[in-house]
Amino acid sequence: MSRHSLRMRLVVAVMLLLATVCTVVGIATAVALRHFMIQQLDTDLSSAGGRFVAMQDHGGPGPGPGYSGNFLGPAQAPRTIGVTVVGGTVTGAEMTDRGGVVRDVPADARTALAAVPTDGHPHSVDLGPLGTYRVLASVDREGTVLVVGLPQADVDHLTVLLVAAEGIVIVLALTGAGIVGAIAVRRELRPLEQVAETAGRVSALRLDSGEVDLSERVPAEHTDPRTEVGQVGAALNRMLDNVSTALDARHASEVRLRRFVADASHELRTPLAAIRGYAELTARDRALPPEAAHSLSRITSQAERMTTLVEDLLLLARLDAGRPLERAPVDLSRLVVDAVSDAGAAGPGHRFRLDLPDEPVVVVGDAARLTQVVTNLLANARTHTPPGTEVVVGLTPVPTVGSAGCASGRLTVTDTGPGVPPELNVFERFARGDGSRSRIHGSTGLGLAIVQAVVEAHGGRVHLDSRPGRTVFTVELPGVSPEPDTRPLPLLALQE
């Protein structure tokens, strides 16, 4: 493939073609013209020769204008040369001048003329300083060779002039054709650029999630199937139709699935509450045999676990659906203090430490969801580490330019526990470390997925850095409110 643009290649191809055609026509013209002129010269030559022969036969001057010498014969054109040769020796030589004056023929020229074959055909002979001559030799009855010559200079001169004129015309024509061709090709290819622009705009769209408005199309005037560009435009439009339909179908099925998960979670809440309630009620019966009491406590704890799972699923489904978040200033410092105090009460075997700046760190967001982020991180630091582990919760304000008084905040939860298994992508849904499934009560594998979903809905980022003895979860929240969510909402008509 060439590196040059189609426009450039088209223009160059046309120019090359044009140059070839012009050159061929020019050469053919020059050759033909020269051929005709030589023919004309040969006709003149044979009549000049006739007069020369007649003069040699009869002797004496003939009538007529111009030269009227008694060697060459009458009415000879200027610069005509006549030579008589007998037995290889030049016996007479004469040449006319412009004014009809007779001049001598130089010795070199005589020798060259004497050597012309007497075959009855004209020959072109170079006579040195006299230039090229058209020469005809014939033999008379007495065996004298009569050679007559006419200058070929005019023919040569005209041929050169013609070729020069043709060259100039060809160069001018090619320049003009190049300019006009470049403009024409540019105009013809402009629709192709518009097709490319459409494709470019589509490629800049985000098609990976949510409802996609793929309304970009090639304008109708560039979709005429009778033109090549129109075929490209029409094909692109058909492709966009197809992609748009597929994206709509995908979106619809995503929405259906989310609604199903959300509805299912919501529906499960009521029977779960009933199970817990009845289990508690039955447990009050003091006459219960010990095995039954044990079973009841297992029922209660499993129902509680399922409740957590269902709540987590519901929350995730709502975050997926792009439920709008509250956007209010949230005092992260306060939130962290409360969460750590709760965690300390829940996990007395762990040492919790706060590392807060003097000034409160305020971000814009949804306080309830942010609380859940901190709670989930602290619960992990408590449940996935052995007792005695130290957990440090740090908070740093990160000033951002133009944040209108709200600094962005960085929250870190660091523990000295065994660390996260390296092969585990902990932010994936239902991702749980070895043994967590059976060992730890209340482990759903959704905690960090929720953390990530909430933080990203706030326009922030969450990051994990873990090795044995030091596990750090870092949450960065922007101080300024992120772009308002423009996705169509609400997808889920759910009541609390």
Cα separation, 372 vs 206, in Å, equals: 30
Burial class of residue 315, CB neighbours in 10 A (0-12, 13-18, 19+): buried
Within residues 263-322, the interface with ligand ADP by CB under 6 A covers: none
State which amino acid sits at residue 269: R
Out of 471, 477, 479, 481, the residue judged to bind ligand ADP by CB under 6 A: 471
- Count of residues for the chain? 496
Candidate list 112, 116, 373, 426; residue touching ligand ADP; CB under 6 A: 426
Minimum CB–partner distance for residue 444 and ligand ADP (Å): 4
298, two tokens: 């297992």
Q: Please identify which residue in 381, 393, 395, 407 interacts with ligand ADP, judged by CB under 6 A.
A: 381
Given a contact cutoff of 8 angstroms between Cβ atoms, the answer to whether 156 and 132 are in contact is yes
State which residue, 376 or 481, has the beta carbon closest to Mg ion. 376
Which among 110-118, 262-270, 340-348, 444-452 is the span making contact with ligand ADP, rule CB under 6 A? Answer: 444-452
Closest separation in Å from C-beta 419 to ligand ADP: 6
Q: Is 384 in the site for ligand ADP (CB under 6 A)?
A: yes
Nearer to Mg ion, 237 or 389 (CB): 389
Distance (Å, whole) CA 86 – CA 354: 135
The per-residue DSSP string of 41-99 comes to HHHHHHHHHHHHHHHHHH-SPPP-SS---SSS-SSPPTT-EEEEEETTEEEEEEEE-TT
In the complex, residue closest to ligand ADP by CB: 433
Binding segment toward Mg ion, per CB under 5 A, in 72-80, 319-327, 439-447, 469-477: 439-447
Under DSSP, the state recorded for 457 is H
Beta partners for 462?
475
Pattern 447-476, Mg ion, x by CB under 5 A:
x-----------------------------
Q: Are 389 and 352 in contact (CB under 8 A)?
A: no
Q: Residues 443, 436: contact at Cβ < 8 Å?
A: yes
Q: Taking CB under 6 A as the rule, does residue 374 contact ligand ADP?
A: no
Among 244, 265, 385, 481, binds ligand ADP (CB under 6 A): 385
| SS3 of residue 390 by DSSP | strand
462 binds ligand ADP (CB under 6 A): no
Give the one residue of 223, 372, 380, 389 binding Mg ion; rule: CB under 5 A. Answer: 380
Is residue 340 close enough to count as binding ligand ADP by CB under 6 A? no
Q: Which residues lie near ligand ADP (CB under 6 A)?
A: 376, 380-381, 384-385, 415, 417, 419-420, 426, 431-433, 436, 443-449, 471
